[in-house]
Structure 1
Amino acid sequence: MKNSNLLLSLLILVTGFSGCQNILEETPVGLATADSYYSTPKGLEDGLKAVYTPLRRFYGREEAFFLTVPGTDDFTNGFGGVTNYPDINNYSANFLGSNAFVTVIWDNFYVGINQANAVVNRAPGVAGLTEANRNRIVAEARFLRALYYFHLVQQFGDVHFSLEETIGVVTTANRTPVATIYEKGIVPDLQYAIAQLPAKAAAYGRITKPAAEALLARVQLTLGNWAEAERLANLVTKSYDFQLVKPFANIWDINNELNSEVVWSVQYTADPLTNGEGNQSHLFFVFDYTQNPTIIRDLPNGRAYQRFMPTNYLIKLFDPAKDSRWDGSFKTVWFANNKGTINGKTVMPGDTAIKIVPYSVPDAVQNQAPYWYIDFKDTWVGASTITNNEIGGGQRRRFPVLKKYIDPLRTSVNATDGRRDFIVIRLAEMYLIAGEAAWRQNKTADAAAYFNVVRTRAALAGKEKDMQVTANDINLDFILDERARELAGEMHRWYDLKRTGQLLARVKKYNLDAAPNIKETHLVRPIPQTQIDRVTNPGEFTQNPGY
């Protein structure tokens, strides 16, 4: 672990989580110590801000996307994933503890956990705080500590567990059972947060009571406590003024970030002084449209890292004739911004340059179109035999682009530091949690009703009735399919497949890149080798089996 406490050099760099408008004013504290600075109300508040900092090292970052999105049934490697970091999606023998992505996530979450421990443990001794404010500070820190541990146990299994601040150098670590971390850490931390946090925060981006209820609903679903998961999800849907955004695509309008569906999001900003490396989500799902002779890289279309490409399963999962989530989630049409020639025809700026469809089109029609007409013949998207005008063609350079993260407000066409907030919890997930939890309790009619709320919102105008499901439609495959349609690319999928016991089966069935390699070993990630190397009790702190 990075066991030394975060000192004040980090605190003055924290941008704050109160939204995109304010810059944290720096106070020179170079000679201060944690003991002296955290003993004041302002110092403790600054310490809390530092607990939020690791959120920006996970949400919207490449490391986290690779550990939650590909290697599942709905996303595999695009061209950029294959050429840069193929091992995680493919579960290859090269995916080891030396992988930088697992190291970054491990280290940053433990920094956050230790900072949370410092705030929680020091708060009782700080004079000048009202009890309500003290409890609120502790509750926010405990929520974040629970969130960080929740990610760690899902990713790594038994991990080091401590609720005490570490000061100085510690060279031993423990492997605490996952069940113990839930019982003594994650669940009581979130219960405390629910009891102490306000329904609405004083500043947008701070943790609130409904955010804590929503995260605990997710935790209880993972633990199999179905009734409690349903109860908590219902509290979020019924006790506050959250509403599903209509139409579905408007959730992702960058000019509509503070919308009624957001339960909690991680804040980024338009100010480069406070945005750091920014939200980089906009990079990873975009293919290289500039290979088209009529398109030059621009802000609306994004910068293409082309890391992740939808699988055949995800492409076939939507019915675009009635479900708005296909067009609401994926960009499939591009317009020329440069004069050029396609199939012998002159294309002018403003004309269609690329059109992707999730069905087969006759070759003759494609070859006569005055644009790239890319179709889907249901050959594996990663197959070497795919032609340029099929999804997956051009060596995985042609595919529908997940547009949930596109950021046209970046400072330049090459900028990677996006400013879009990252939605961690939104209302639709609560209906999906309640629906799954109800089904697990054999309340199939209730389950269908929950899912129909989400499906009604997703329906195209006049197709609401066609989108309804009945109790007989609900089973585990439907639940996973519906979560994929609603939450594609939102960092849920690997966790969903693991907690439902479907990771191996579904990856083998739907992700042909990963199918030959995935095995029980891969239900957890490798412990970072740097962690293994730095402990002085390696006999007690061992690597996960198979790595």
Structure 2
Amino acid sequence: MYLPKKAIGFSLLTLGLLGSCGKSYLELQPRNALSTDQFYQTQDDAIQATNSTYAQLRGYGMYGEGLWSMDIMADNSFVGGGGAADGIELQQLDTYTIPSSNPITTVLFQRPFLGIGACNQVLANVPGIKNIDPAIQNRCLGEAEFMRAFYYFSLTRLFGDVPIVLTPPTSAGAVANVSRDPSAMVYAQVEKDLLDAITKLPATNYTGDDVGRANKWSATALLAKVYLTEGKMAEAATQAQAVISGSGKSLWPNYGDNFNLATENGQESLFEVQYKSGLNQYTLDGPGSAINEFWGARFFGNPYVVSGGGYGFNIPEKEFVDGYEPGDLRKAVTLFVPGDKYPDGQVQPASLQGDPNGYNVRKFYAGAASTIWDSPLNVPVLRLAEMYLILAEADMNTGKMADGLTALNVVRKRAGLPNATTLSIDVVLKERRYELAFEMDRWYDLKRTKTLVNNPNLIPKGIKPFNDLLPIPQVERDVNPNLGQNPGY
């Protein structure tokens, strides 16, 4: 895999936007002040700098830990863990008692700005490199635009209004007092970046060490999702259909191949977070994924079914499990339920600590061979199946009910289910819930369809009308009062 094995300690928004750049991506310490004067000289410099725009995806505050917390805030899962003193920050999210000092919401705000800072460095400096293949130069710029759009899309969905900074500041003071821009402006910038990225990125799949980079279809798929989130249904349908028709991608016959180490970055994949094992350390900023251990059955098995013992967080809700239709082939791929066997023959028990019904997520299970916080299994972010579901929802909203049903039933057929005969938002949301389960989408789906705060499964948890946004971190507001705070916090 090409992504740099670089761990960057999270910093304040200001330091993140300042960015950094250097020729070694194998270091495991923060580096926030390297000069760009002697960098950005060669094609290799441009590629390495572009690699750094992806690096934040793996870490604490994105897919390492952070975004999967949003599943706990939704109705698919609850905290689990080891009891009242375990995972307090997750319990605050689960019960909607979220202080502005919550460490997860804090890093959900900070981490994307580190990525944006890296993107801004590429977009500001790569155009000036003379010793570079123009096609590679264009590709690097398109990748940086794609990633900047990705980070801003994450931020505005979580926090609403956020500062838009598109160039590397010359000093910390230059961004110390930035204000939040309206979310409509953020979405406009996301659209602009993606539309330009589509013109710069190659339409073909990557090979060799470049596998995993964003291409034209990654950007088109993300744009379809952005339009869907904004409620621009005709535009969402156009982009989703473009991916279905033009990408050359197809659904795996077996749903489970989307979550299999041997088939990652495969025929259905449009974009994945790349992971690689080998560090074997307790760090959320290494090259491997911690999901295997965080989600694994809590300290179960002899030997443990997860290396080091699973922590048993992100436990599927009984209501979610009971909601599978009979014959849905996705259930066995997504869940461990009592009686299921692990590869070594051990059997899932009827209950575990923090897990009274004996359910665990199977979808990203990498087995006992995965060392501590170091799973090699990628996390799919954009898949072709979602493009069919976006098309179904968009067609429904633009009066093309028959076309929408056809798109929906492509996904249901692969799941082993009969064709749906009616189309409604409830039907589409349910299909998204089970097709994309634990791929960190459910909270956003409930929010954008205005079914979050009145969700009957969340009302007992204590959800309040203002909980459709997260709090701006107090540590950021202490440094910059101009950031303000979201209502209710």
Q: With the length of structure 1 as denominator, give the TM-score of the two structures.
A: 0.79
Tell me which amino acid in the other structure corresponds to 1:304. Answer: G
One of 525, 530, 536 as aligned partner of 2:475:
530
Cα distance in structure 1, aligned partners of 2:146 and 2:441: 19
Task: Output aligned runs, 1:43-62, within 5 Å.
Answer: 43-57=45-59, 58-62=61-65
Cα distance in structure 2, aligned partners of 1:314 and 1:266: 26
The equivalent residue for 1:217 is: 224
Cα distance in structure 2, aligned partners of 1:108 and 1:285: 22
Q: Is 1:306 paired with 2:312?
A: yes
The equivalent residue for 1:323 is: 328
The equivalent residue for 2:273 is: 266
The equivalent residue for 2:410 is: 453
Tell me which amino acid in the other structure corresponds to 2:56. Answer: P
Task: Output aligned runs, 1:399-418, within 5 Å.
Answer: 399-408=358-367, 410-412=369-371, 415-418=372-375
The equivalent residue for 2:114 is: 111
Cα distance in structure 1, aligned partners of 2:267 and 2:82: 35
Q: Is 1:7 paired with 2:13?
A: no
Structure 2 vs 1, CA of residues 168 and 328 (structure 1 numbering), >3 Å: closer, same or farther?
same
Structure 2 vs 1, CA of residues 126 and 74 (structure 1 numbering), >3 Å: closer, same or farther?
same
One of 179, 194, 198 as aligned partner of 1:174:
179
Cα distance in structure 1, aligned partners of 2:238 and 2:342: 50
Percent sequence identity over matched residues?
Answer: 30
Query: Secondary structure in 2 aligned to 1:263?
Result: strand
Name the Cα RMSD after superposition.
2.7
Tell me which amino acid in the other structure corresponds to 2:383. Answer: R
Cα distance in structure 1, aligned partners of 2:146 and 2:168: 16
Q: Which runs of 5+ in 2 are unaligned?
A: 1-12
For the 8 Å contact 1:59–1:279, the answer to whether it is kept is no
Larger-gyration structure (1/2): 1
For the 8 Å contact 1:118–1:165, the answer to whether it is kept is yes
The equivalent residue for 2:10 is: none
For the 8 Å contact 2:126–2:137, the answer to whether it is kept is yes
Q: Is 1:545 paired with 2:479?
A: no
Query: Secondary structure in 2 aligned to 1:241?
Result: coil
Q: Which runs of 5+ in 1 are unaligned?
A: 16-23, 338-348, 355-371, 375-387
**Shift, 1:31, TM fit:** 11
The equivalent residue for 2:160 is: 157
Cα distance in structure 1, aligned partners of 2:443 and 2:260: 26
Cα distance in structure 2, aligned partners of 1:513 and 1:224: 29
For the 8 Å contact 1:299–1:407, the answer to whether it is kept is no
Query: Secondary structure in 2 aligned to 1:272?
Result: coil
One of 372, 378, 381 as aligned partner of 1:421:
378
Cα distance in structure 2, aligned partners of 1:239 and 1:61: 32
Once the two structures are superposed, residues 241-276 of structure 1 have per-residue CA deviations (whole angstroms, 9 ceiling, x without a partner) of: 211112222322222223211111111113329982
For the 8 Å contact 2:315–2:355, the answer to whether it is kept is yes
Query: Secondary structure in 2 aligned to 1:77?
Result: strand
Cα distance in structure 1, aligned partners of 2:342 and 2:110: 44
**Shift, 1:336, TM fit:** 8.8
Query: Secondary structure in 1 aligned to 2:315?
Result: strand
One of 196, 199, 210 as aligned partner of 2:200:
196
How many aligned positions are there? 461
Cα distance in structure 1, aligned partners of 2:123 and 2:169: 12
Query: Secondary structure in 2 aligned to 1:35?
Result: coil
Once the two structures are superposed, residues 25-65 of structure 1 have per-residue CA deviations (whole angstroms, 9 ceiling, x without a partner) of: xxxx9997212212433323222121111111255322221
For the 8 Å contact 1:438–1:444, the answer to whether it is kept is yes
For the 8 Å contact 1:76–1:513, the answer to whether it is kept is no
Cα distance in structure 2, aligned partners of 1:489 and 1:301: 21
**Shift, 1:137, TM fit:** 1.0
Q: With the length of structure 2 as denominator, give the TM-score of the two structures.
A: 0.87
**Shift, 1:198, TM fit:** 0.4
Structure 2 vs 1, CA of residues 46 and 493 (structure 1 numbering), >3 Å: closer, same or farther?
same
Task: Output aligned runs, 1:271-286, within 5 Å.
Answer: 271-272=278-279, 276=286, 278-286=288-296
The equivalent residue for 2:454 is: 505
Tell me which amino acid in the other structure corresponds to 2:367. Answer: P
For the 8 Å contact 1:14–1:53, the answer to whether it is kept is no
Cα distance in structure 2, aligned partners of 1:269 and 1:317: 34
**Shift, 1:288, TM fit:** 2.6
Structure 2 vs 1, CA of residues 319 and 191 (structure 1 numbering), >3 Å: closer, same or farther?
same
